[in-house]
Amino acid sequence: MPYTFNFDLTKVSSGFFTEIAKIVDRKRLHRKMGKSFRGLVKKFRLDEITGLNISDAVSLVEDFVDIQIKNIVNRERFSKAKKRALFLPHCSRKYMDNRCKAKFDPNVPSYFCQHCSEDCLIHQATLLGEKRGYDVYILPGGSCVTKILEKGGYEAVVGVACGEEIKLADKILEKLNLPGQAVPLIKNGCAYTKFNISMLKNIL
């Protein structure tokens, strides 16, 4: 049913939409939308395609929505930051064995891509990040986050990881009072994982 009135919000400050996202986030409204999320799961046959049971598929959708809302809420502060880090997950490398030529520096600790494979997601994401002025880290685990952020004096961070790791990283960023933007994995499993490179490109 179309609106019975016309409107044009193009002159309304983008802060308006951020405020809406903040209210949704603060009141955790998206967590109360179980029924709608269940409908979404059914509509896109998420359970059939992934083999997940309905409640796991719904909690995945909840996490994705959570991540999107937090991205909107933090976007303004993030955009003003100058020194930024990009954290990539080691599990998205094309190879998880010695065919991956990434160098590991235990003092950081991080892997650094040596660009052995054009079709490796981490290679592509590293190039994108460096081109946009980010310091890029390929993390072996979430426990390295605090050390790197404090040592590097970063003002903002973009992180690619599974929803569970993103939740843990959120807590760290809250403690350090840093704005973050997250890209969730679309295939998890701790090896040969995948994320959407276009989504990362937009966020960077």
What is the nearest approach in angstroms of ligand SF4 to the Cβ of residue 81? 23
Helix axes of 15-26 and 54-80: crossing angle, nearest 10 degrees: 140
What is the nearest approach in angstroms of ligand SF4 to the Cβ of residue 188? 4
45 vs 147 by CB, closer to ligand SF4: 147
63 vs 155 by CB, closer to ligand SF4: 63
Distances (CA, A) of 197 to 92, 113, 130, 154, 186: 11, 16, 14, 23, 11
44 vs 192 by CB, closer to ligand SF4: 192
Contact call for residues 142 and 169 (beta carbons, < 8 A) = yes
Q: How many CB atoms lie within 10 A of CB 173?
A: 21
What is the nearest approach in angstroms of ligand SF4 to the Cβ of residue 87? 10
21 vs 185 by CB, closer to ligand SF4: 185
What is the nearest approach in angstroms of ligand SF4 to the Cβ of residue 97? 10
3-class state of residue 9 by DSSP: coil
2 vs 51 by CB, closer to ligand SF4: 51
Q: What are phi and psi of 57, to 5 degrees?
A: -65, -40
Instruction: Collect contacts of 112-115 with beta carbons under 8 A, ≥24 apart.
Output: 112/136, 112/137, 112/138, 113/138
Cis peptide, bond prior to residue 109, ω within 30 of zero: yes
What is the nearest approach in angstroms of ligand SF4 to the Cβ of residue 20? 30
Binding site residues, ligand SF4, CB under 6 A: 89, 91, 93-95, 100-102, 113-117, 120, 122-123, 161-162, 165, 185, 188, 190, 193
What is the nearest approach in angstroms of ligand SF4 to the Cβ of residue 65? 19
85 vs 100 by CB, closer to ligand SF4: 100
DSSP string, 26-66: HTTGGGG-HHHHHHHHHHTTHHHHH---HHHHHHHHHHHHH
